[in-house]
Amino acid sequence: MVNTSVGIVTTEYVEFDLELQLESGRLLGPITLAYETYGTLNRDRSNAILVTHAWTGDAHAAGRHHPDDRKPGWWDDMIGPGKVLDTDRYFIVCSNVIGSCKGSTGPASINPRTGKPYNLGFPVIMVRDMVRAQVLLVDHLGIDRLLAVIGGSMGAMQAIEWGIHFPERVRGIVPIAGCGRTSPMAIALNAVARQAIFNDPLWKKGNYKPEHPPADGLALARAIGHISFLSDRSMQLKFGRRFSARDGLFDFFGRFEVENYLAYNGSSFVDRFDTNSFLYLAKALDLYDLAWGFESREEALERLDCPSLWFAFTSDWLYPPYLTEEVIAILQKLGKPVEYHLIASDYGHDSFLVEPEKFTPKVVDFLERRLAEAEKAVTGDG
């Protein structure tokens, strides 16, 4: 991987003074979107790639906000000069989804009608609603057609929705470790996580004070999520059966190292994410079905005209490969331009973040082909 960076970046904010009609029938507005951009939009505005983030991600995908930041953006190893998403060639956009707490309008935002936080008065949103809000941003940036939409997990779902509902606005999609509809098992895991929050007395049916969140419930909910992101093999490699060196083996409250890991990730998550946003985004994941509003998945996927590049990972048990392969089979039956790769990895659902080198050469090739198509369209040669 090329060791270059986009450097110091700034999160930008745009407000849309309108009401967005949601899939639920409710209206949401005005809407603020947080976003970051990397690279330069070319003269023809034909080199823009939208990066879509996962469940608890944000707009800060690359670079650092301050020179002393401990970590760069969440996909920094992918975005930058000479990297997979090469900022010398492409203009990269990453926005925070609505429903989040990372700068875009969500349940922690102020409801203009009451002057107080929405909390559970915030409408239930779907992935499709997130994409409709992103369309507003792309229009704001003056981009008629995206070169590609690429993302993992919930980001993959957004990419799929772009291809189905805005086929004229995108030249290609790259869904990574995603699915066409959430499985009952994934919904069950989210249900247990939700209950952990509901059972915390500080949750107060969503009316907690920001300075006193239901920390125990949210930490436990996040720990449940972390288990689903890993795999048996990755836990063996990372932790084995090692017992904490600080605890006695027969101390009743002594912990294995895997327990310490879950406890740490759960408690640190409380400091950076809003509980109600966690719940709303989990609900959006549960509701996801690309066939929503259609008679069948076939009818929905018939609308996907652009080339698509899909990746699944052998050890992913949150969104196992068969869920992706169901969609691939339909696309192939419909004669759509689709490419699918099953990547061998031991790192579970997080494989796309841990071992990107296993699939990124195919992404580079896919994007180069889309760029060549865009250039031909501009010159009239294609």
The answer to whether 88 is a known catalytic residue is no
Give me the DSSP letters along 208-220.
-BTTB--HHHHHH
Question: Cα dist. 245→43, 95, 234, 261 in Å?
Answer: 59, 42, 21, 14
- CA dist 79 and 90 (Å) reads 10
Choosing from 86, 129, 216, 316, the catalytic residue is 316
Say if residue 350 carries a ligand binding annotation.
yes
Give me the DSSP letters along 131-200.
HHHHHHHHHHTT-SSBSEEEEETHHHHHHHHHHHH-GGGBS-EEEES--SB--HHHHHHHHHHHHHHHTS
The answer to whether 308 is a known catalytic residue is no
Burial 130-166 (b: 16+ CB within 10 A, else e): bbbbbebbbeebebebbbbbbbbbbbbbbbbbbbbbb
- CA dist 105 and 114 (Å) reads 15
Whole-angstrom Cα Rg for the chain: 21
The answer to whether 274 is a known catalytic residue is no
- CA dist 378 and 373 (Å) reads 9
Amino acid identity of 130?
A: M
Say if residue 222 carries a ligand binding annotation.
yes
SS3 41: coil
- CA dist 50 and 75 (Å) reads 13
Choosing from 53, 60, 165, 349, the catalytic residue is 349
Choosing from 153, 315, 345, 351, the catalytic residue is 153
Tell me the two tokens of residue 117.
Answer: 């936080």
Q: Within 10 Å of residue 320's Cβ, how many Cβ atoms? A: 18
Q: Which residues are annotated as a binding site?
A: 222, 350
Q: Which residues are annotated as a binding site for substrate?
A: 222, 350
Catalytic center residues: 153, 316, 349
